[in-house]
Amino acid sequence: MVENFTPVSGLIGGGLIGVASALMLLFSGRITGISGIVGGLLSAKGSELSWRAVFVVGLILGAVIYMLVAGGTNLVQMEASVPVLVVAGVLVGFGTRLGSGCTSGHGVCGIARFSNRSITATIVFMGVAALTVFITRHVF
């Protein structure tokens, strides 16, 4: 198993996510929940569509710029097949709708606002994630 412990880039990335979330809340009054932002692209109109599209493009460009600056083309290697990834994506989308948000909305923004609902949701996310890893690695 390959270890990928990168505390410096993790701290920098986490800090940037926190600053971006704080700026989003400060300047627009909106929570930086990625599933809500992306999901809203399907029904948004006018200025709602514009800022959401710019946000998503910024997410993609941020990853591309990081890859260019870091000089790496070490893309993530997926061990699952495309159908499994599609089903996983649909389940994640369903879960974010069911849970009224995703890890960015609840885990980053909600916990920072001391929201009991977000704290509970994040505990459930993390518990299910740990259980899923355990089952996929040690049971199947």
Cα dihedral 31, 35, 40, 46, rounded to 10, equals: 60
CB count within 10 Å of CB 86 equals 11
Q: With 70 as the cut, is the pLDDT of residue 73 above it?
A: no
121: which residues sit within 8 A by CB, 6+ positions away?
A: 99, 100, 101, 106, 107, 110
Q: In whole angstroms, how large is the CA radius of gyration of the chain?
A: 17
Question: Residues of 111-131 as b/e, b for ≥16 C-beta within 10 angstroms?
Answer: eeeebeebeebbeebeeeeee
Nearest to 32 by CA among 43, 24, 40: 24
Are 31 and 105 in contact by the 8 Å Cβ rule? The answer is yes
User: pLDDT tens digit string along 42-64?
Assistant: 887 888 898 899 999 998 998 88
Mean pLDDT of 115-134: 91
- Residue 99: pLDDT band with limits 50, 70, 90: confident
- Residue 74: pLDDT band with limits 50, 70, 90: low
- The span from the CA of 99 to the CA of 127, in Å, is 14
